[in-house]
């Protein structure tokens, strides 16, 4: 519910109450029940009937009322089609995940666009407050939670937080109607937030909006922002998982880490790993992943500077170019298991860091567990340029609207150690962070009909971290993937002013993600993960 209106002279108010709930029901089909499968494949011949039965059903020492034994159906895994439907029904199940998230928001503000007058114009002012509460809960059925099935044991998620905020904003005209200054405005804003999970935080923004003349406007903003961890990042329970990784303490891996060899040897010895240790395992290894209730908020400072150009001699054209730079501290992210191991043992300050604390070794020096949890990384710097060009014109008895949006990523640096900011990891052009990405769209409108074509471009990237490839360029092949372009088309028809119908195809050419990538998960999600998609619909405005 939203209430808007005015009171007194020149004062406006805005009050709202918002409540929302999202429920999720997800089924995982053909989830194997491990104990039943073990009993089903352990088949023998019943001496009384001469037929195949489960050995457990003949064993007098077994509890025949056990649901993983009672009704057991033997199975022969060898040969196409030999697994009967009855056997599948016995040791397979459909697991259900049920989740619910809610959000309640109370907010209110008052504003005055003409608080008082300055020589360059009226001062605008706003002040307000907001209270927000979010809750989340969800989990699988008991068979999954207890670890009875092939799906790794996943504990239920339950958590909540609330935040109270107050804010104020000013828009102050500084100069106007001067040579080279059509209008210059100073924008100021501040917000105080008190989170139930992470405490209080203050954010602010200061910006200059300078209209040089009618066709050219420039702007600059400097700001401090905070992002508090969400419920999933804080309270997601630790659950079993699997990962491929190379133990840095394995002597076979020394050649890949020549730059850090001294630190690795010292740290492995401090972790009681025997000299000349070799990891006896290969392939997927068990690990744990989940949230971290000890997280702190991310804090960032940002600088943006750019211009908007709308030349009078070219009607319908606009060009926007913005340079931006962000410095984020205490970045909330989940390190891969490999990075956790590398950051621990490459540390020049010993093993007393949070990365080594996430690693457990057994008495033989072998890694027995790695906790890949959300953490506050030291720092992340990002710098780039955004481009936005638009042009509208009339042709073929209709109107064309074209737009090109692109981002050029100049730098993206991760600093894993709070105590050593000289140790950085550049992520530009690594999977998920291309140097160039953007889109170009063209829309043609004729009377009640319009058609849109959009191209989405993702630049080429390295398949692994560049420092890893530099140390051993033959370790991974291919070392790079090329650029990808997707094409989307849509047609809309306005039957009446209030009613329209539409149809479209996304990823028209059915472009797949590069070989080895699924289009899901961190980094890979930048690619399309479904393929060609058709859709159609009706829209009616009341």
CB-CB contact of 218 with 275 (8 Å): no
Banded pLDDT at 391 (limits 50, 70, 90): very high
Per-residue confidence at 333, pLDDT binned at 50, 70, 90?
confident
User: Would you state the torsion angle of the CA atoms of residues 74, 77, 81, 87, taken in this order, to the nearest 10 degrees?
Assistant: 30
Quickly state the pLDDT bin for 252 (edges 50, 70, 90): confident
Most confident of 37-46, 237-246, 467-476: 37-46
Mean pLDDT of 223-229: 95
Mean pLDDT of 463-480: 71
Give the pLDDT of residue 475. 63
Q: What is the pLDDT of residue 471?
A: 64
With bands split at pLDDT 50, 70 and 90, how would you rate the model's confidence at 152? confident
pLDDT at 284 (0 to 100): 79
- Give strand ranges (E) for 468-507: 480-481, 484-494, 499-506
479 contacts 473 by C-beta, under 8 angstroms: yes
Say yes or no to pLDDT of 225 above 90: yes
84-106 pLDDT, tens digit each: 999 999 999 999 999 999 999 99
Closest CA to 146 of 95, 207, 88, 80: 95
Mean pLDDT of 62-81: 90
Tens of pLDDT, residue by residue over 345-354, are 988 889 998 8
State the pairing for strand pair 359-361/298-309: unpaired
Lowest mean per-residue pLDDT among 245-249, 319-323, 401-405, 473-477:
473-477
Mean pLDDT of 401-425: 85
CA-wise closest residue to 279 among 373, 370, 346: 370
Q: What does the pLDDT read at residue 1?
A: 74
Q: Does the pLDDT of residue 501 top 70, yes or no?
A: yes
| pLDDT at residue 259, as a whole number | 64
Highest mean pLDDT among 452-456, 496-500, 526-530: 452-456
Instruction: Kindly state the helix (H) or strand (E) to which residue 41 belongs, with its residue range.
Output: helix 34-41
Q: What is the pLDDT of residue 81?
A: 82
pLDDT score for 386: 98
pLDDT digit string, tens, across residues 208-217: 999 999 999 9
Confidence of residue 54 (pLDDT cuts 50, 70, 90): very high
Which position has the higher pLDDT, 426 or 215?
215
Lowest mean pLDDT among 57-71, 294-308, 311-325: 57-71
Q: Which long-range contacts (CB under 8 A, 24 or more apart) does 351-357 make?
A: 351/267, 351/270, 351/271, 353/417, 355/416, 356/267, 356/271
Distance, in Å, from the CA atom of 522 to the CA atom of 514, rounded to the nearest integer, reads 15
> Which H helix or E strand runs over 26?
strand 11-32
- Average of per-residue pLDDT across 184-208: 96
Q: Which helix (H) or strand (E) holds 268?
A: helix 261-270
Q: What is the mean pLDDT of residues 369-392?
A: 91
Lowest mean pLDDT among 63-72, 129-138, 449-458, 502-511: 63-72
Q: Output the pLDDT for position 360.
A: 93
pLDDT of residue 384: 97
pLDDT value at 476 more than 70: no
Longest Cα–Cα distance of the chain, Å, equals: 107
* 274-299 tens-digit pLDDT: 988 988 887 778 888 888 998 999 99
């Amino acid at each position: 519910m939203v209430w808007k209106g005015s009171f007194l002279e020149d004062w406006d108010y805005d009050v709202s109450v918002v409540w929302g709930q999202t429920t999720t029901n997800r089924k995982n089909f053909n989830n194997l029940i491990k104990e039943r499968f073990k009993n089903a494949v352990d088949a023998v011949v019943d001496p009384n009937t001469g037929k195949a039965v489960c050995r457990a059903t003949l064993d007098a020492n077994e509890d025949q009322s056990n649901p993983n034994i009672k009704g057991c159906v033997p199975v022969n895994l060898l040969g196409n089609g030999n697994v009967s439907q009855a056997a599948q029904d016995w040791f397979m199940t459909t697991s259900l995940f049920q989740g619910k998230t809610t959000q309640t928001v109370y907010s209110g503000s008052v504003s005055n666009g003409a608080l008082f007058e300055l020589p360059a114009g009226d001062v605008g002012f706003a002040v307000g407050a907001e209270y927000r509460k979010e809750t989340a809960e969800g989990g699988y059925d008991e068979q999954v939670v207890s670890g009875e099935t092939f799906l790794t044991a996943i504990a239920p998620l339950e958590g909540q937080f609330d935040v109270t905020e107050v804010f104020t904003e000013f828009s102050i005209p500084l100069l106007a109607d001067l040579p080279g200054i059509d209008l210059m405005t100073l924008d100021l804003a501040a917000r105080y937030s008190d989170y139930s999970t992470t405490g209080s935080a203050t954010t602010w923004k200061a910006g200059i909006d300078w209209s040089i003349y009618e066709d050219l406007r420039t702007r600059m903003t400097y700001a401090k922002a905070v992002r508090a961890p969400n419920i999933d990042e804080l309270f997601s329970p630790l659950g079993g998982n699997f990962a491929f990784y190379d133990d840095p303490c394995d002597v076979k891996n020394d050649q890949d880490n020549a730059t850090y060899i001294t630190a690795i040897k010292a740290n492995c010895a401090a972790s009681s790993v025997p000299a000349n240790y070799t990891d006896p395992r290969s392939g997927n290894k068990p690990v744990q992943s989940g949230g971290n209730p000890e997280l702190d908020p991310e804090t960032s400072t940002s600088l943006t500077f750019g211009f908007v150009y709308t030349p009078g001699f070219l009607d319908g054209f606009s060009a926007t170019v913005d340079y931006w730079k962000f410095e984020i501290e205490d970045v909330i992210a989940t390190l891969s298991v490999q990075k956790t191991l590398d950051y621990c043992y490459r540390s020049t300050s010993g093993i007393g860091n949070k990365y080594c604390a996430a690693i457990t070794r057994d008495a033989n020096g072998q890694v027995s567990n790695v906790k890949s949890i959300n953490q506050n990384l030291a720092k992340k710097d990002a710098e780039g340029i955004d481009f936005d060009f638009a042009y509208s014109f009339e042709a073929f008895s209709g109107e064309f609207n074209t737009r090109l949006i692109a981002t050029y990523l100049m730098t993206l640096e991760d600093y894993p150690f709070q105590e050593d900011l000289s140790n950085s990891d550049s992520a530009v052009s690594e999977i998920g962070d291309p140097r160039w990405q953007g889109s170009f769209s063209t829309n043609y409108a004729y009377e009640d009909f319009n058609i849109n074509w959009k191209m989405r471009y993702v630049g080429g990237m390295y398949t692994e971290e560049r420092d890893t490839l530099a140390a051993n360029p033959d370790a991974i092949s291919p070392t790079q993937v090329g650029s990808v372009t997707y094409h989307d088309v849509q047609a809309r028809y306005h039957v009446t002013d209030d009613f329209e119908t539409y149809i479209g195809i996304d990823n028209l050419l059915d472009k797949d993600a590069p070989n080895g990538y699924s289009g899901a998960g961190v980094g890979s999600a930048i690619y399309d993960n479904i393929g060609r998609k058709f859709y159609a619909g009706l829209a009616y405005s009341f």
